[in-house]
Homo-oligomer: A and B are copies of this chain.
């Protein structure tokens, strides 16, 4: 069994209030190079790129300042000429990855959502169901490509350039729903939360397999005696009578949940449309 510890940085006054301004400058690239002094031998870009590469290949735990410095062939402390601290570097990694080009949207999603169309924009407009579907799929793809995203505090980069672009894109696809602005944000938050939670579960499982060296089957086998004893104890009557295929990997929980979410939005959109025609 393996549960990765998470250890914070200095945690005290190190990441004070003064860093916010610097971090924003880094995010938006506002810094002009000063004319005095020697030319810098590194770029912020190179550092962030290296960090993302290491994280992708070996996980976020492999991303340390010392590791990055050897990767870049410099001294460790040189990195601090470009980044105030590791926390800010993580922010930059996040924005970098959020800015990656999205895969092409899939169009068959619209009809898979089922039932009749009651859009505010008429039949010719781009379908919001496809937009929701694409949004969920591309976010899940991103999280699968970069599982370490799930371990990074996303609170403060919501307003970075890449995140803004993503939000803009998402809102564009949702226009046809005919909902109020805060509700549109609600749609996005709901879908993203769902995808994130699901991806986390999957990433945790993958990490556990990697760290313990046990495959899923081996782990279940190891677990089985305890489970069987628990079932026989009578304390779990509901679970004891579950069908064999209940926990089968054939069932796609992402697909299931996404369909339910879209159906839930559909209900609201129709409700609004009906209220609109009667009023």
Are A223 and B17 neighbours in the complex by a CB distance under 8 Å? no
A interface SS class? helix
From B4, B5, B152, B168, give the contact of A236 (CB < 8 A): B168
> Interface size bucket, A side?
35 or more
A278 located at the interface, meaning its Cβ lies under 8 Å from any Cβ of chain B in the complex: no
Are A9 and B17 neighbours in the complex by a CB distance under 8 Å? no
- The 8 A-B pairs at the shortest CB distance, nearest first, are namely A193-B197, A8-B61, A264-B264, A260-B264, A190-B257, A1-B23, A155-B204, A3-B90
What is the total number of copies of this protein in its complex? Answer: 2
CB A106 to nearest CB in B, in angstroms, measures: 20
CA distance A7 to B251 in the complex (A): 34
A77 located at the interface, meaning its Cβ lies under 8 Å from any Cβ of chain B in the complex: no
Across-interface contacts of A107 in B (CB, < 8 A)? none
CB A73 to nearest CB in B, in angstroms, measures: 23
Across-interface contacts of A36 in B (CB, < 8 A)? none
Are B219 and A156 neighbours in the complex by a CB distance under 8 Å? yes
Are A9 and B5 neighbours in the complex by a CB distance under 8 Å? yes
Across-interface contacts of A230 in B (CB, < 8 A)? 28, 161, 164
Are A1 and B19 neighbours in the complex by a CB distance under 8 Å? yes
